[in-house]
Homo-oligomer: A and B are copies of this chain.
Amino acid sequence: MNDWDDIRFFLEVARAGSISSASKILKVNHTTVSRRIHSLEKKHGVRLFERSRDGYQMTEAADAIYHQALEIELQNQQISRTLFGQDTRLEGPISLTMPHDIFEYCLAKDLAEFHQTHPGIQLKLIVGKGVLNLSSREADIAIRLTPSPPDYLVGREVSGLQHALYSTDTNLNTNKPVGLVLWGGETTIPKWASQHFNECYASLYVDDLSSMYAAVKAGFGVARMPCYMPDSLNNPLVRKLPIQLPRSEWSVWVLSHVDLRKTARVQHCREFLVTKLLNKKPLFEGQKGQT
Contact = CB atoms under 8 A, between A and B. Distances in A.
A44 B75 contact: no
A86 B60 contact: yes
Contacts of A80: 44
Query: How many of chain A's residues touch chain B, expressed as a range?
Result: 20 to 34
Interface of A: 2-5, 7-8, 44-46, 60-61, 64-65, 68-69, 71-72, 75-76, 78-80, 82-84, 86-89, 92
Q: How many copies does the complex hold?
A: 2
Contacts of A61: 82-83, 86
A7 B89 CA distance: 22
Given A68-B78, A68-B79, A75-B72, A46 B3 contact: no
A91 to B, nearest CB: 8
B83 A44 contact: yes
5 contacts: A4-B7, A7-B79, A45-B84, A64-B86, A71-B75
Contacts of A8: 3-4
A87 B83 CA distance: 38
Contacts of A84: 44-46
Contacts of A78: 65, 68
B46 A87 contact: yes
A72 to B, nearest CB: 5
B5 A3 contact: yes
A89 B46 CA distance: 9
A2 B4 CA distance: 9
Contact of A45 (B60, B82, B89): B89
